[in-house]
Amino acid sequence: MAVRLSGVVFDPWQELSQQAANLPKGKHGACASFVGTMRDFNLGDTVQSMTLEHYPEMTQHFLDNTVAAACTRWDLIDCLIVHRYGDIRPGDAIVLIAAWSPHRAEAFDACHFLIEELKARAPFWKKETTDHSTRWVHDSTAD
Partner 1 sequence: MQFNVKFFASLAERTGLTDITLDAHQLTTVADVWDRATDHQSRPANTLCSINLVHARFEDHVHDGDEIAFFPPVTGG
98 counts as binding partner 1 under rule CB under 8 A: no
- Is the distance from CB of 27 to CB of 77 less than 8 angstroms? yes
Nearest to 49 by CA among 96, 86, 15, 76: 86
DSSP 8-state symbol, 142: T
Which residues are CB-neighbours of 76 under 8 A, at least 6 positions away?
70, 99, 100, 101, 106, 107, 110
When binding is defined by CB under 8 A, the residue of 74, 110, 118, 130 that contacts partner 1 is: 118
- Is the distance from CB of 76 to CB of 106 less than 8 angstroms? yes
66 counts as binding partner 1 under rule CB under 8 A: no
8 counts as binding partner 1 under rule CB under 8 A: no
3 counts as binding partner 1 under rule CB under 8 A: no
110 counts as binding partner 1 under rule CB under 8 A: no
When binding is defined by CB under 8 A, the residue of 62, 92, 102, 109 that contacts partner 1 is: 62
Query: Cα torsion at 31, 52, 14, 21 (round to 10°)?
Result: -50
16 vs 137 by CB, closer to partner 1: 137
When binding is defined by CB under 8 A, the residue of 1, 112, 123, 129 that contacts partner 1 is: 123
136 counts as binding partner 1 under rule CB under 8 A: yes
| Positions in the binding site for partner 1 (CB under 8 A) | 36, 52-55, 57-58, 61-62, 83, 94-95, 115, 118-127, 136-140, 143
